[in-house]
Amino acid sequence: MTFERNIMVVMILRFLTSTQGYKFYVGGRDGWVVTPSENYNHWSERMRFQVNDTLFFKYEKGSDSVLLVTKEDYFSCNTKNPIQSLTEGDSIFKFDRSGPFFFITGNADNCNKGKKLAVVVMAVRHKPPQQQPPSASPSPSSAAAPCDSADGVPAPSSERKSGSVRAACPTWLVVGFSVLVSMV
């Protein structure tokens, strides 16, 4: 396998891992109900939501709805001006940006009883590469796929700099690169 092909496979892997999200089940087994076993906001505070994650609201079509609303409408349980309305039952909402999101039930009385959810989606961050001090004898993991570039792409052995400070490879990249090399 050529180096260029290795790079292409690594870049595809990087793209796939950056676009995948996690599916969160709002209310767990209870679903989207008036009295969940755990308060929705207590549950939300324990989670780490990221862009591309989804929320799954379990409820029967025609019996309820989920409204994405402004912060003001969330606190006042105003159901009249939703940003988005999910009414088809068993609804899925995908986070397309970071920041706060506010959900309420379409029934204002149930909203006033606590059937609402506030979620904060973490900002997308691209971590700067961590620097490792130069070592006289590289460890087996760094010898297998060292990262000389800031983007974590393994450098071919002909381009490795002897004794230079290298950026640490992300774990998924080292494992993914090793798996890909062994597959080909």
CATH class of the 21-121 domain in this structure: mainly beta
Q: What is the CA radius of gyration of the chain?
A: 23
Q: Residues 6 or more apart from 179 whose CB is under 8 A from it?
A: none
**Residue 126, pLDDT above cutoff 70:** no
- pTM of the prediction? 0.59
Distance CA 54, CA 101 (A): 12
**What is the residue extent of each domain of the chain?**
21-121, 128-183
Give the model confidence (pLDDT) of 136-168 as tens digits. 544 444 333 344 433 333 444 443 333 333 333
Q: What percent of the chain has pLDDT over 90?
A: 52
Q: Residues 6 or more apart from 19 whose CB is under 8 A from it?
A: 52
Which tokens go with 176?
């993914």
147 three-state secondary structure: strand
Which tokens go with 65?
């709805």
**Phi–psi pair at 167, nearest 5 degrees:** -75, 145
pLDDT interval class at 85 (50, 70, 90): very high
Q: What is the mean pLDDT of residues 64-84?
A: 97
